Homo-oligomer: A and B are copies of this chain.
Amino acid sequence: MKTELDSDRDFSQQIARTIRDAILGGDLPADGRLPSESDLAAQFNVSRPTVREALKRLAAQNLIRTQRGATGGAFVNRLGFDEAQEHLVTTATLLLSMNRVDFETACESRFALERACLPLACARRAPAHLAALHAEIARQGTEGLSDEDFCASDVAFHRALVDAAANPVLSWHLAGAVEAMQPLMNMITFTARSRARIVALHGALADAVAARDADAAGAAMDSLAAYTLELGGQIRARRARPAPDTAAG
């Protein structure tokens, strides 16, 4: 591992990058233990707090985990799908909120991606997947469900739909796309009428997937996308901001 650092630069950043590259390059195997903070400080010729800052940077990226005690230390994290998903959602959420992405753009992106999962979902859906879909549909029909809970169930439904494709990488990508939309979806007020329509479309989707009918599923998804966009019009209307003419040129 490199022990030379450019002066008049951020040491902890350089150290973090060096270790990160070592991990990505495979020099440090998963679950392998890094030298102790004192050793690293000696290697890089910096103080322990500086090393610690570098380690915290890596910990924030889920690249390492730390453990106290005699056999403790920093260990290379075997990045699981769950943690990576959390990370993806955070980044995606920020990206949408900070760049003032139109509801239309985010919506279009999300449904386009989700539509891509349907053929696979139809081909591979197992009974457990169908059960998950129906469970969420039932929940969405509950009386007195808050808008937030309805949204949460909606997200769960769509994630179950994607999971039916039985491709963890696909599920990971889509989880980011779907969950990042939740703050935007939460701005929508769902009337009883709109809920009923959404639940009906969800039912059509579930049925199509159960029947392994990719075309019908695609059609239902398109309807759902169109209706979601329609509902999203509320948001723009409420904000009363002029619509940018960048969309659908």
Residues of A within 8 A of B (CB): 12, 16, 20, 23-24, 26, 30, 49, 52-54, 56-63, 78-81, 84, 87-88, 90-99, 101, 105-106, 108-110, 112-113, 115-117, 119-120, 124, 126, 165-170, 172-173, 176-177, 248-249
Judge whether A169 and B105 touch: CB under 8 Å.
yes
Cα distance A91–B12 in the bound complex, in angstroms: 20
Judge whether A95 and B81 touch: CB under 8 Å.
yes
Cα distance A244–B26 in the bound complex, in angstroms: 23
Q: Which residues of B contact A115 (CB under 8 A)?
A: 116
CB of A178 to closest CB in B, whole Å: 11
Cα distance A88–B92 in the bound complex, in angstroms: 9
Q: Which residues of B contact A98 (CB under 8 A)?
A: 30, 78-79
Judge whether A108 and B120 touch: CB under 8 Å.
yes
Cα distance A201–B112 in the bound complex, in angstroms: 23
Secondary structure call for the A interface: helix
Q: Which residues of B contact A24 (CB under 8 A)?
A: 90, 93-94, 97
The one of B112, B117, B124, B169 in contact with A117, judged by C-beta atoms closer than 8 angstroms, is: B112
Q: Which residues of B contact A109 (CB under 8 A)?
A: 167, 169-170, 173
The one of B54, B90, B173, B249 in contact with A61, judged by C-beta atoms closer than 8 angstroms, is: B90
CB of A44 to closest CB in B, whole Å: 15
Cα distance A99–B169 in the bound complex, in angstroms: 10
Q: Which residues of B contact A26 (CB under 8 A)?
A: 97
Q: Which residues of B contact A117 (CB under 8 A)?
A: 112
Q: A60-B57, A97-B26 are in contact. Are A173 and B177 (CB under 8 A)?
A: yes
Judge whether A91 and B79 touch: CB under 8 Å.
yes
Cα distance A204–B126 in the bound complex, in angstroms: 36
Judge whether B56 and A101 touch: CB under 8 Å.
no
Cα distance A183–B54 in the bound complex, in angstroms: 25
